[in-house]
A and B are shown apart, each in its own frame.
Chain A
Amino acid sequence: MSDDVMTPEGGPPPGGGEANGWRKEYWRKNLRLMVVLLIVWFAVSFGCGILFVEQLNQVVIGGFPLGFWFAQQGAIYTFIVLILVYAVRMDRLDREYGVHERNHDGGLT
């Protein structure tokens, strides 16, 4: 999985140095994930749905001018996928750093 890209980049040796070094690492990974997802969020809604809507409207699929489709349908589907990716990856990140909650809730089960 592409997850490997996000694992330790030769950070401080475990146990040595600051006891809370993991905190910085965890937070940095959280922020990176967040920024990537927010870029997609902006590109799809404000990009495809507003800034470039007229150019995209030249293409018509299934009766929908494409820009119009993004503005009234596509952006919403994308938002769902973004939150799904965030929830899944944060679950993984929490476990990786041992900060997951032991009293479990949510998820698809």
Chain B
Amino acid sequence: MTETQIWALVFVALTFSVYIYIAWRSRVRETRGFFVAEQNVPAIANGAAVAADWMSAASFISMAGLIAFLGSDGSVYLMGWTGGYVLLALLLAPYLRKWGKFTVPEFVGDRFSETVRSVAAVVAIIVSFTYVVGQMAGGGIVFSRFLEIPQAGGVAIAAAVIFTYAVFGGMKGITWTQVAQYTVMIVAYLIPAWAVAHTITGIPVPQVSFGRILEELNALQAEFGLDQYTQAFTARPQLDVFLVTMALMIGTAGLPHVIIRFYTTKSVRGSRWSALWALVFIALLYTTAPAVGAFTKFNLLQGVQGQPVDALPQWVQNWQATGLVSVSESADTITSITNKATVFADGGADLLVNNDILVLASPEIAGLPAPIVGLVAAGGLAAAMSTAAGLLLVISSSVSHDLYFRYVDHHASEARRLGVSRIAMGLAVLVAIYFGINPPAFVAQVVAFAFGLAASTFFPLLVLGVFWKRTNAAGAVSGMLAGLAFTGSYMIHTLEVFGTSAHEYVFGISPEGIGTLGAVVNLVVTIVVSLATRPPSHEVQEMVEQIRYPAEREEVGAN
């Protein structure tokens, strides 16, 4: 065992025991604990849990690497994955919390109809599954590199730990482990970032100091024949940057596992403040990520530039074993670099570096000591596991609460409901393990699917449901299906999935950006169909009215 492996093992074992201890402390006996953590989570803790729930393997492992290769256009992820919280805080969180039940489809059921609820439950399951696959695969990468456990074994170990706290503690267990996981994740992200920033610029505040290397980085990129790092719209056309950013924002605000986290606060007011805390905690990582991207790219290019193949830095060799870094056999010295496997296979570059490894490898690339490298491994796992657990809860609650008890067993007792929810959770974990071992595509690409679908289905549905009383069931269901069909078919048209072949983008719009247009389609269809059919009942309109006010009006001061 190398020194790095020992440290990785120490940190991973330590953090895993903390998670299991928390799970033991927060096991639940009621469905209210299982689904919404007894609605008793303080705003700041809930904010940390949202942040951990939200920041996935994609944020922690892939994002800075993506930014490093995208340059300026990496901003689609930075703005897209934070701007959604403004929408969430202003448009959804307080109202859904006021209404206060267990799941997102349940709100849809009360607001519209049971049919819409079932459609929403199925969509929630599909969205969450596409997303959970990425988490499992991300966890597997960490295990295979740092502990040299085969990916399958790594996925199984991570899943077993998630199983323990998710099945016994439900949302309560998940919430408090997420608070711990946020802490692990952010420490693991910031320490190497501070160290790298300090080493290169002498200022340990990466957010400020990466400005100092941008000019040099631009020059270095030019020597490798790459576009200027700070030049906008080199990776995507402007229209696509706009659409992708919007799709990620409204997708964020429409993701069931994010929304459901706002059901667990103590009050409506708590949900607003917890959105603020969530974004503060997320921003700590998200403002650091572009700095990590720039610094790592800088180090990477400097480290390999013009080097003979047999004199490359040690990290290249370490990561070659995972297949995520490859050196071209025909190359003598490194003069070009790519992150695209297809380009590399055609002999278009001397060195292939996968996006997903840049954060994990950045301490090694910068030559930081072994304990820090080990800490990053624990952080990557915390990111993957916390998000996976939140998603599995959505899957379990949709299956049990929204589908099973509606159609199969109406009169289930409390104990039975809890039992069924636990079984659903267990099965979801098993399916997730399977897909984690056989992942369909890149971690970040898989996640992009989930956003497009959430953007084009849930977001318009929920916003209209809260803000426009006239929205009715017929409108909601046709809007949701239209958005889903539009977005889904464009994705299948442009991507190689389920054995279909990829076609050209229409107007340069990428599959990640199509969710924005899908949302517009949904919105228009919902409004048109709602207006053409009967308005919702008086009771429903009164319910929509009621969720606007956090509490009953106090008589003091009135009249």
Stretch of B127-135, B152-160, B282-290, B517-525 contacting A (4+ beta carbons < 8 Å):
B282-290
Contact B551 A76 (CB under 8 A): no
Q: B322: CB under 8 A from chain A?
A: no
Q: Which residues of chain B have C-beta atoms less than 8 A from A38's C-beta?
A: 86, 90
Contact A94 B550 (CB under 8 A): yes
Q: A90: CB under 8 A from chain B?
A: yes
Q: Which residues of chain A from 2 to 60 have a CB within 8 Å of any chain B CB?
A: 14-15, 22-23, 26-27, 30, 34, 37-38, 41, 45-46, 49-51, 53-54, 57
Contact of B86 among A23, A73, A82, A91 (CB under 8 A): A82
Q: Which residues of chain B have C-beta atoms less than 8 A from A23's C-beta?
A: 545, 548-549
Contact A53 B269 (CB under 8 A): no
Taken together as a complex, chains A and B put the C-alpha atoms of A37 and B85 apart, in Å, by 13
- Contact A63 B211, CB 8 Å, known A23-B545, A98-B558: yes
Q: Kindly name the residue among B94, B212, B273 whose own CB sees the greatest number of chain A CB atoms within 10 A.
A: B273
Contact of A99 among B82, B83, B215, B550 (CB under 8 A): B550
Q: Kindly name the residue among A68, A69, A82 whose own CB sees the greatest number of chain B CB atoms within 10 A.
A: A68
Q: Which residues of chain B have C-beta atoms less than 8 A from A15's C-beta?
A: 559
Contact B245 A87 (CB under 8 A): no
What is the chain B residue whose CB lies nearest that of A35?
B90
- Contact A37 B86, CB 8 Å, known A63-B215, A73-B290: yes
Contact A49 B79 (CB under 8 A): yes
What is the chain A residue whose CB lies nearest that of B551?
A101
Contact with A along B508-545 (1 / 0, CB 8 A): 00000000000000000000000000000000000001
Q: Which residues of chain B have C-beta atoms less than 8 A from A94's C-beta?
A: 269, 550-551
Contact A106 B267 (CB under 8 A): yes
- Contact A101 B268, CB 8 Å, known A76-B78, A79-B279: yes
Contact B269 A50 (CB under 8 A): no
Q: B241: CB under 8 A from chain A?
A: yes
- Count the B residues whose beta carbon is within 8 Å of the partner chain — how many? 65
B240 smallest CB distance to A (angstroms): 10
Q: B310: CB under 8 A from chain A?
A: no
Contact with B along A70-108 (1 / 0, CB 8 A): 011101110110111011001100100111111111110
Contact B549 A26 (CB under 8 A): yes
Q: Which residues of chain B have C-beta atoms less than 8 A from A97's C-beta?
A: 549, 553
Q: B214: CB under 8 A from chain A?
A: yes
A64 smallest CB distance to B (angstroms): 4
A66 smallest CB distance to B (angstroms): 10
- Contact A106 B274, CB 8 Å, known A49-B75, A51-B242, A101-B268: yes
Contact with A along B57-96 (1 / 0, CB 8 A): 0000000000100001011001100110111011100100
Contact B557 A98 (CB under 8 A): yes
Q: Which residues of chain B have C-beta atoms less than 8 A from A102's C-beta?
A: 551, 554
Q: Which residues of chain A have C-beta atoms less than 8 A from B230's C-beta?
A: 57, 65, 68
Q: B256: CB under 8 A from chain A?
A: no
Contact with A along B204-220 (1 / 0, CB 8 A): 00011011111100000
A39 smallest CB distance to B (angstroms): 11
Listed by A's residue number, 10 A-B pairs whose Cβ atoms lie within 8 Å are A38-B86, A41-B87, A63-B215, A68-B72, A73-B290, A84-B276, A97-B553, A101-B550, A105-B265, A106-B43
User: Which A residues are closer than 8 A to B by beta carbons?
Assistant: 14-15, 22-23, 26-27, 30, 34, 37-38, 41, 45-46, 49-51, 53-54, 57, 61-65, 67-69, 71-73, 75-77, 79-80, 82-84, 86-87, 90-91, 94, 97-107
Given contacts A14-B559, A98-B555, 20 further A-B contacts (CB under 8 A): A49-B75, A57-B232, A63-B210, A71-B79, A75-B79, A79-B83, A80-B276, A83-B89, A86-B89, A87-B272, A87-B275, A94-B551, A97-B549, A99-B550, A99-B554, A100-B551, A100-B554, A104-B267, A105-B269, A106-B266
